[in-house]
Amino acid sequence: MTQNDFEVNGRHFESRAEYTRALRDKASIDKIKQTTNMQNKAALERLNRDLQNGKYHFYTLLGKDFREEVEELLKKSRMESYVREELKKQEKRRRLVIVLCSLGAVICLGYVGIYSWFNQRTSNSYEELSNLKEKPVSASKAPVPTPQYTLDKKQEEKEVLEEYKNLLNKNKKLIGWIKIDDTNIDYPVMQTSDNEYYLDHNLNQEYDKNGSIFMDKDCDVLKPSTNFIIYGHHMRSGQMFGNLDDYEKESYYKDHPYIQFDTIYEKGLYQVMYVFRSRVYREDEIVFKYYQFIDANGEQEFSSYMKEMAEMSLYDTGVTAEYGDRLLTLSTCDYQETNGRFVVVAKRIEEDR
């Protein structure tokens, strides 16, 4: 054997003695490989620890080559394991996203279904009420009850208009009816001592996210008050006062200048006068609060209120009011600012129609 034959695993050795030690190292390495799963990450980690801790002794560079080989295999195994774990995580996230999206879709469909059901129920309910309003009162029915408002205010009872007797038999909290021609606004108006109640209840005393159109508890149709304030939700469906903010366009006002508001005791036609945006203010803010203007204490205060609203109005209708005129204020939410309100103010132009 010549010196050039002293080669093991690509390594050349100078002497027969080194060559012999290399063959011994190779035999040890081959045995380790036979007894160790070199594709298994846990086995490679144990082997690597054993090599670092000196469990195996090598006498030539073949030992160094083997340790580097184990480290390289372990690095590759760790990377493959990391990739597998990441793929598992991605798969879990993907499944979670699918589940959440599916759940979200179910919730959205459920919400849309409930929303549509409420809207349909509200539409059907008010169509029924409108028909009931036109239906003649049956002589065989029990006497019309005293309106709840009259009971609350303890004032002298007035004669209820014939067309509202059927509705009053259905709900004693009815106080009137509001209608704007060629719009969806054609609703009964409720009134109770709690301004919160009709935010989420309908005429049938059922929970209804649409709520009802209702008059401020401090307004008095018997006295009557200087200003009737009527509230309604700004529903995206357009129900209630959902389209009231169409009055921000002067052209819309010109097409809809009149509001019919009947109390259960008398009819009334009102002409739109002011249209403005406002908001609900803190109690300690000294500013004109339209929602507190119900009765004017004298001509000077009335004129002051008119001036405030005229300055806030989005456009000049040319309509003005004098002390002694009766007013109607329609109010709904306005989302251009926090606690914003959109307001339409009209004055009564005739007593009966």
Q: Is 262 helix (H, G, I), strand (E, B) or coil?
A: strand
Tokens 């500013």 belong to 287
DSSP string, 67-104: HHHHHHHHHHHHHHHHHHHHHHHHHHHHHHHHHHHHHH
For residues 231 and 212, give the distance between their C-alpha atoms in angstroms, rounded to a whole number.
Answer: 8
Phi-psi label, residue 324: left if phi above 0, alpha if psi -120 to 50, beta otherwise: left
Strands 340-350 and 327-334: antiparallel
Q: Which residues pair with 263 in a beta bridge?
A: 176
Backbone angles phi, psi at 268, to 5 degrees: -155, 135
Specify the DSSP class assigned to residue 146.
Answer: P
Strands 327-334 and 227-231: parallel
Determine whether 333 is an active site residue.
yes
Q: Which residues pair with 7 in a beta bridge?
A: 12
Residue 285 CB neighbours (<10 A): 9
Q: Which member of 101, 108, 219, 333 is catalytic?
A: 333
Radius of gyration of the chain (CA): 42
- Residues taking part in catalysis: 333
